Every structure is written in structure tokens, then in C-alpha cells.
Structure 1
């Protein structure tokens, strides 16, 4: 069989996947850019240029949504990175019941985000919720977790961390277990402590895992919607509105072209933030 025939034969195996990728991913992306410059319904559309973008950026809630999105993404990312590292290091040490504890940490990841949001919104009820009831039994007056404009966004962020830290922990466990044990043995022979092993071996050599957690958590925070909507629907007021929830509200109101423009803006924002961050993180990775 000639080289050209072999090449054609191998590309034939890629064709079904390529068609699926084009139809379900590439084509909708291209069409979204086009329809973001139209006023469309399910049956008709009118080309209006960049009017949707001008209207979207003139929304009073957009500046609040941008700020909330960045705050939410940074808070959830930092907490997942730090807690995931600590839990990963703890669950790869010589403790008992490691498998069981790993399952407990990972279990919230398997739960439906909507179900978690509804459950925590009930638990965070200011007068009847389990959290404030427990605090009251200790003589502590709990706040209105989701009704207080100063802490509502952080309350949702903490629930997001509780649900998503299991993924970060699993990634860290994979990265830490890949570190050769000879490094730890050499440090122990030199009189190093467990703290030295953590700071001088575990942290530097788990950088690839850390970088993966940072990228995944940061992008997830920027794109977050379902948990916010299940718990607060963007309220009180615009306090917990993210860009994704603002876009959804435009869809609900029937402004499909405007909402599509918002999706394009979100896509561009995530790309502009995620790709430079990825380049910066991978540039200084420590390879074994």
C-alpha cells in the first residue's frame, strides 16, 4: 500500500469525529458570531450590525456583572487551589482510611449542581435554615447569608468551593503520587521535617497539577451560572449577577440576539484571560 493511500486510509478514521466536531462545535460557534449581529427569533432574523453589542455594554447591570464575575472566579479559584493542595497532601500521607476519606471529599462533585444550590439555599435561610439554627444554639446570631448584599456572592462562592474542591483534590493526588519517593527519603536523611518536604518538594514538583487546577477553576468561575441561579437568581438586586446570569435574563426576556452577543462577549473575555494565564503558568513549570 502506497504512502498516499495509507495517509488517506488513516484520515478516513478521523472523518466521523471531524464531522461531529464541525456540526456540533465549530458551526454553532461561527453561527453565534453571525446571529450576535442580528435581531432574531426562531423563524426570522434581521441584520443590525453591532447594535446588540452597543446595547449590551450600555446595560446598567453589566459593570456589576463583570465585577462580580471576576471576584467570584478569583475567590473560588484561590480557595480550590489552596484547599485542594492541602487535602491532596493530607490524603497522600500515611493516614488511615485514605480511600474512604478520598471518597468523602470527592462525593459532592457527583451531586447535581441545581440540587446542591436548592439544598444550600434552604440551609442558609436566615430564620429556619440549619446553619443559623445551629449557630443560634451556640448563642451566635447568624447573618442572612443570601439576602445580605455584602456577603451573598461570597456565600454562593463558598458553596461552589465545597462542591468543586473534590476535583482539585483528585488532580493534586495524581500529581503528588507521581513525585519520586527518593526525594522525600533524601530530605529525611538530611534531617528535613514534614514541613520542609511539603514546601521544598511537594509544592514545587506538583506545579503541573496546580496549574491544571488554576486553569480549570478560573475558567469554571468565569462561566458559572447554574449554582448562582439555583441559589439567588442574581439577587438581591444585582448583587450576585454574573455575566452568564445576565445573558440568561436576556434570553428570558426574548432578546435572543442581545443574549447571543453576550455569549460572544463572555467567550472573548474567557479566552483573553485564560490563554495568557495558561502561558504564564506553564512557562515556569518544574518537570520531573
Structure 2
């Protein structure tokens, strides 16, 4: 009589069937245990402060006293005469820095993934500003762009050009700050684009060359569509950073001259400095809702377009 040995699958199935039900449940839950430390940190350092902010936004509070006052903080916040100017500045700052980082980052990414001479050295130079402290960048540019003793205007004066008040002219200061922000942050956008560009198979470009496509045709029809995930990442990160920007602006101009470079975050900080803690907390909630209202629909729309490719 011949015997047939059970297959490996049958043995595995019998072993699983023989396990106690509780052990099987624990085995299935085991990978989830690794999420617990990260989830705990996220809950303590993000979720808890967020919910606390929503509560304290409806109170007049100090370190020793809390009094519930309803929507009074929000009413007073929206009556702030600086708010309209700061809100417009915030939108201009966020949109302009985001678009600039996308365009410049993509062009630099294409250049630095080509066979350009000394590209490793150029990559280091472009990415270096990302590593520098934002406060340090603000203080440095404040000195460089001083209208009287700054290096930039001194250099312009040496060739007969009168330099403008980069940080003192109300019509120019916001765009100067945008330029500084782009200079500091474009290295990260370039790095993200470089990662997306090197992931594109070279076969696509070879096929395009065989079909007689020009360099621009290949860029428009191959590169742009296939780096759309990188574009989504750069847009969302840059827009969130731009709408929440504070440290660079505060270190460089303190929101001045006047209120010309104030953004929502700097207005909120001024209220906090004045001791209006509940009012500044309400402002933070408003800023959180504004960023969410701008970024979330854009993120969903860009992901849908990416899925349609």
C-alpha cells in the first residue's frame, strides 16, 4: 500500500487550525503593536494640544485662571485692524513661495540629474540653505539688506545704482521676504524632484528620441506627467510652510515696516506678547482652519488628477 505525504499547505493549514483562537487573534494583531509608540507620541504631542487649543480658544486664560467666554475671542480677533492686511499677506506669501519652489525646484532638479559638470558640488550648494537655521537666515539677510550699510546696497552703489529699501519699503518688503524664503527652501524641493526624476525609466526617453521628439517634447509629455507625485508633495509642503510662516518674517522685519509684512502668525504672536493668551489661541485655531481649508481640497484635487494618469 502506498501512502501520500501531506502537502506543505495542508500541514500549515492544520497547524493554524490547531492554534487556540486567542493565539490566532494575537498573531493577527502583532504588526499593529509596532504602531503604538508612534501613535502615543502623535496623540500626546499633536492631538492633545490641538484639542486643548480648541477649548482654550473659548476662554480667557492665564497660567493660574481659566474663564469660559464663548466666541468673544473670535469676535475680537476678526475685529483686529491688522487682520485683513495680514490675511492677504499670508495668502500671497503662501501661494508665491509654493509656485516659485515648484518651478525653480523642477528646473534645478532636471539640471542636476543631467550630465552637467560638477553636479555633485552644485547639489551641495543648492541644498545647503535648507540646513541653516531659519532665524540665522533672517538675521543674516537683515544685515545684508540694510539700506545704508548692507553689503547688497553697498555693492550696487559701487556701480552707480541706488539700492532700494529691501526691508524698509512697504511695497517691496513682502516680496523680499518671499525671495529669501524661496532661496532657503528651494533645495528641499529640488531634492524631491531629483528623487522623482531618477525614478523615471530611461526607456521612455529613448523611445521618444527614436520617434523624433525634441527635448521640450520629452519634458512636456514624459517628465512633467511622471513627476506629478513629486509636484504634489512640493506644493503641499511649501503651501503649508508658507501659510504658517513666522520665524523668518519675525527675525527679519518683526512684521514691519508698520504692518506691511505682517502675516497671520505674526499677528497672533503680537497678541500673545501683549498678554491676550485666549485671543492668540483663538487666532491659532483660525489659522489652523485656514490652512486646512486651503490645503485639504488642493491635496484631494491633485491626488485625483494623479490617479487619472
Normalising by structure 2, report the TM-score.
Answer: 0.90
1:14 counterpart (25, 35, 46): 35
- For 1:178, the equivalent position in structure 2 comes to 199
287, 292, 297: which is aligned to 1:266?
287
- What SS does the corresponding residue of 1:78 show, helix, strand or coil? helix
Could you tell me which residue of structure 2 aligns to residue 205 of structure 1?
226
Query: Counterparts of 1:106 and 1:13 in 2: how far apart (Å)?
Result: 33
- In structure 1, what is the equivalent of residue 116 of structure 2? 95
2:245 and 2:175 map into 1 onto residues whose CA distance is 14
CA distance in structure 2 between the aligned counterparts of 1:53 and 1:202, rounded to whole angstroms: 46
| CA–CA separation in structure 1 for the residues paired with 2:192 and 2:198 | 10
* 1:113 equivalenced with 2:134 (yes/no): yes
Q: Which residue of 1 aligns with 2:144?
A: 123
Does the CA contact (< 8 Å) of 1:175 and 1:206 recur in 2? yes
Whose radius of gyration is greater, 1 or 2? Answer: 2
Displacement of 1:286 after TM fit? 6.5
CA drift at 1:287? 8.1
Instruction: State the alpha-carbon separation in 2 of the partners of residues 24 and 13 from structure 1.
Output: 18
Q: C-alpha deviations, 1:20-42, integer Å up to 9, x for none?
A: 22222111111110000000001
* Gap change, CA 1:9 and 1:195, over 3 Å in 2: closer
The change in CA–CA distance for 1:10 and 1:79 in structure 2 (over 3 A counts) is closer
Task: Please name the residue that 2:186 is paired with.
Answer: 165
Q: Is the contact between residue 208 and residue 286 of structure 1 (CA under 8 Å) also seen in structure 2?
A: no
Q: Distance in 2 between matches of 1:26 and 1:53?
A: 22
Q: Equivalent residues in 2 for 1:239-258 (5 A)?
A: 239-258=260-279
Residue 53 (structure 1) aligned with residue 74 (structure 2)? yes
Tell whether the 8 Å contact from 1:205 to 1:286 is kept in structure 2 after alignment: no
Task: After superposition, give the CA deviation of every residue in 1:119-148 in whole Å (9 maximum; x if it has no partner).
Answer: 001111111111111111222111000110
Q: State the number of aligned residues.
A: 288
User: Which consecutive unaligned segments of at least 5 residues does structure 2 have?
Assistant: 1-18
3-state SS of 1:260 partner: helix
Query: Is structure 2 residue 157 aligned with structure 1 residue 136?
Result: yes
Match of 2:258 among 220, 226, 237: 237
| CA RMSD between the two structures | 1.4
Over 3 Å counting, the alpha-carbon distance change for 1:68 and 1:184 in structure 2 is same
Partner SS for 1:148: coil
C-alpha distance in structure 1 between counterparts of 2:227 and 2:37, whole Å: 37
Moved more, 1-10 or 271-280: 1-10
* Equivalence for 1:37: 58
Matched residue, 1:69: 90
Shift of 1:195: 2.1
Rounded Cα–Cα distance in structure 2 between residues aligned with 1:33 and 1:228: 26
Q: What is the CA distance between 1:255 and its match in structure 2?
A: 0.5
Displacement of 1:5 in angstroms is 2.5
Q: Distance in 1 between matches of 2:308 and 2:296?
A: 21
How much has 1:191 moved relative to structure 2? Answer: 2.2
Cα distance per residue 1:103-134 (max 9 Å; x no partner): 11000000000000000011111111111111
The one of 145, 148, 165 equivalent to 2:169 is 148
